[in-house]
Chain A
Amino acid sequence: MSARAIRIAVFVAAALALALFPLVGGKFGVDFVTKMMVFAIFALSLELLVGQAGLVCFGQAAFFGIAAYATVLATPRTGAASVWWLLPAALGASGLFALFMGALSIRTRGVYFIMVTLAFSQMAYYVAHDTPLGGGTDGIYLDYTPALGIAGTPLLDLGKPWPFYYFVLAMLVAVFVFLGAILRSRFGHALAGIRVNEQRMRAAGFSTYPYKLAAFVLSGLVAGLAGFLFAVKDGFVNPELMGWNVSGTVLMMIILGGIGHLRGAVIGAFAFSLLEEFFKLDSVFGDFAKHWHLGVGLAIIACVAAMPHGIAGGRLRRATASNTEDAEVHRGKP
């Protein structure tokens, strides 16, 4: 069985397991896995930048939060908005901000890029925090769950846990497949080249700036999708969605899963959420459960020490050594 066939089989098995989970998961389980899938989409957006384009963005929360806010603010007070226009509106808001932020920040490199993206993100945070537009620290509520239908006929009731779960699962699969196709394309290969050696790429004739900007905007759109789903799921947004700690959390997710391949982002988002939930268990940790951050932090340090290339990284290294093209696709390697 080829490496590609194995990977497709694992992907299909994982998608099937997620599709069947609501049958056994219960209400809490469905809600929890929905949240994990939203964060998996969010992590995929950052993986595109960090793992594939080599741009360590520390402002990813801005796209997530802006789309979430746009979802709430664009929803009419009189009734449910249609997903067909609300979702593009939310993505448009995050995509435009990504275009603005990327156009300026991509001119910098290394630690300056990290700091500039953080600064933009904090700017968005304070706009939500300190102005009536974003409801201040209290945040704002989504009055009506968006409606998904065709010609007045409802397709899915996104206000109910099960339909929303499958909607999010469909989005996760679509994003994963779409980004996989992107990374296999000429564009993806050029990004891989830019990540490894931008100087060589410019010498070969690649204007690297538009490539990086396109990756940045695409990443903003995917993060915006996660933000939209988050707002619909929780029905509430507040400035903390755009805080630097959210950007740090999603960065930790992709580090935990393994930078350089899409599945690492998904695995990392799931693993991080599970670790967080585990260390919050009163039944296991008693009073210490309120210090769950410490437990999660120590667990991540242990994971990274034991698996420097992330949870998905060990397998990738073996595949690299055997030089199979398929195994390299998600690493952005031509």
Chain B
Amino acid sequence: MNSLALRGERLTRKWGGVVALDGVSIALHRGEIHALIGTNGAGKSTLVNVLSGEIEASSGSVELGGVDVTRWTQPRRARAGLGRSYQRSTIFPQFTVRENCRLAAQARFQRPWRWWSPASADEPTHRVSRDVARRVGLGEALDREAGSLSHGEKRQLEIAMCLATDPQVLLLDEPLAGMGAEESERMLALLAGLREGHAILLVEHDMDAVFRIADRITVLVDGAVIASGTPRAVRDNPGVQTAYLGGAA
């Protein structure tokens, strides 16, 4: 049985009179890819933002590894093992692949304030940057400027930067967005490889990919969960078919 890595309990987020999240509960287990689907504006990114600590929940709680982190800041949650990527690539385009990964790795090691020695001579962060770049398939591109990478490679780098922080939980917001078929396949293979040892929340619009790779799926409509379960159970759920899959799935 997989262990619980992250739990969001009755999470609500209101923007004035608009309820972006309405009592959403979700549990992510280590070794599982948990997909989050829903139409645009359903609250998927808001949920990721609340779970990662980027925005505060109006009510509800978040537990990471059994610890209540609801009041923790985003950096503190990140250091505790909660990594995330964004819908749009947030890499540092003028830095090399190595530098991007090294910078991300820097936060996880002690003494980030060391003023007196060059960061370029810091072996632990170098080692991590090499390892994670290889892991996502960018081992040959370590010294390329990130801005010159293809879109798919940038998304891979984004994942590498998450991995450099040594996360237990990965919140991936549309990692396949804008990718061609070949790049998508590469990313799916990468995500499948990351399943081992991580709990992954995958926000994605590509339904074929979601139903291929996800172990569990949660469906959001208007900020509320209308279904959650295995891909087969979600596919067969009449409410999901009506609200999201158009009744043709």
**Chain A residues near B (Cβ < 8 Å):** 181-182, 184-190, 192-193, 196-197, 199-208, 214, 320, 323, 325, 333-334
The contact of A189 among B75, B106, B108, B145, by CB within 8 Å, is: B106
B122 and A193 within 8 A (CB) = no
B108 and A333 within 8 A (CB) = no
Q: Which of B101-122 contact A (CB under 8 A)?
A: 102-104, 106-108, 111-120, 122
Give 22 A-B contacts (CB < 8 Å), ordered by A residue. A182-B115, A184-B120, A185-B117, A186-B115, A188-B119, A189-B119, A190-B103, A190-B106, A192-B95, A196-B92, A196-B95, A199-B86, A200-B91, A200-B161, A202-B73, A203-B52, A204-B78, A205-B79, A205-B108, A207-B76, A333-B95, A334-B119
Contacts of A186 in B (CB 8 A): 106, 111-115, 119, 122
A199 and B120 within 8 A (CB) = no
Closest to B117 in A: A185
CB distance from A325 to the nearest CB of B (A): 7
Contacts of A203 in B (CB 8 A): 52, 54, 74, 78, 83-84, 86, 90
Contacts of A197 in B (CB 8 A): 90, 92
- In the assembled complex, the Cα of A120 lies from the Cα of B166 at a distance in Å of 41
A185 and B119 within 8 A (CB) = yes
- In the assembled complex, the Cα of A320 lies from the Cα of B145 at a distance in Å of 10
A204 and B116 within 8 A (CB) = no
Contacts of A202 in B (CB 8 A): 54, 73-75, 78
- In the assembled complex, the Cα of A230 lies from the Cα of B79 at a distance in Å of 45
- In the assembled complex, the Cα of A304 lies from the Cα of B103 at a distance in Å of 32
Query: Does residue B206 face the partner (Cβ distance < 8 Å to A)?
Result: no
**Chain B residues near A (Cβ < 8 Å):** 52, 54, 73-76, 78-79, 83-84, 86, 90-92, 94-96, 99, 102-104, 106-108, 111-120, 122, 143, 145, 161, 164-165
- In the assembled complex, the Cα of A320 lies from the Cα of B114 at a distance in Å of 26
CB distance from A151 to the nearest CB of B (A): 29
CB distance from B190 to the nearest CB of A (A): 19
Contacts of A334 in B (CB 8 A): 95, 99, 102-103, 119-120
Contacts of A325 in B (CB 8 A): 120
A189 and B143 within 8 A (CB) = no
Contacts of A182 in B (CB 8 A): 115
B96 and A204 within 8 A (CB) = no
- In the assembled complex, the Cα of A186 lies from the Cα of B119 at a distance in Å of 5
- In the assembled complex, the Cα of A192 lies from the Cα of B92 at a distance in Å of 10
Given contacts A185-B116, A188-B119, contact A204 B107 (CB under 8 A): yes
- In the assembled complex, the Cα of A333 lies from the Cα of B117 at a distance in Å of 15
Contacts of A206 in B (CB 8 A): 75, 106-107, 112
